[in-house]
Amino acid sequence: MENKTAAQFKSAGILVLFLFICFGVAWIGAQVSPGIASSEWYDQLNKPGWNPPGWLFGPVWTALYTMMAFAAWRIWRRLGFSGAKTELSWFAIQLFLNGLWSQLFFNAQSPGLAFVEILFLLAAIIITTAYFYRQDSIAGWLMVPYILWVAFATVLNGTISMIN
């Protein structure tokens, strides 16, 4: 019984670690995003009529980062860190690219460069999702809303880049 309890605490701790990592990336990105940082530059950009309202981004990203953390945790539970080197490396790559996008778009104020970068981000998310799905279908499905949101964001970023 003691070993089972220790394993449950370890599992919960790893889940908290993945949540901390994902929301750490979110926090870093939020420091340069409208709402926390000065949004004067962003407010002056031409945006398409289908640009989502600002209040929507927080709840959507909260749900997405939570699902990403649970997906990574499920992969860790199935394979451990040493068995999931490829899967979790791709997960780390896409998280890095996720954080980089906010820096390029908002901090560097470069929608064009951010558009090129988001193409790599989308590809990395798709690769991560494929690796996750091969090991755990639920982990793979948990990543699908993230793919859809970033695909939408890619089109939005490209549109903003073209009309500005």
CATH superfamily of 2-163: TspO/MBR protein (1.20.1260.100)
CA 6 to chain CA mean position, Å: 30
**pLDDT (tens digit per residue) in 88-118:** 999 999 999 999 999 999 989 999 999 999 9
Q: What percent of the chain has pLDDT over 70?
A: 96
**pLDDT (tens digit per residue) in 34-80:** 765 557 889 899 999 999 998 999 999 999 999 999 999 999 999 99
- As a whole number, mean pLDDT of residues 23-31 equals 92
Q: What is the pLDDT of residue 52?
A: 95
CA 153 to chain CA mean position, Å: 12
CA distance 46 to 90: 34
CA distance 142 to 149: 13
CA 154 to chain CA mean position, Å: 13
- As a whole number, mean pLDDT of residues 13-21 equals 97
Helices (H), 31-84: 40-44, 54-83
CA 113 to chain CA mean position, Å: 18
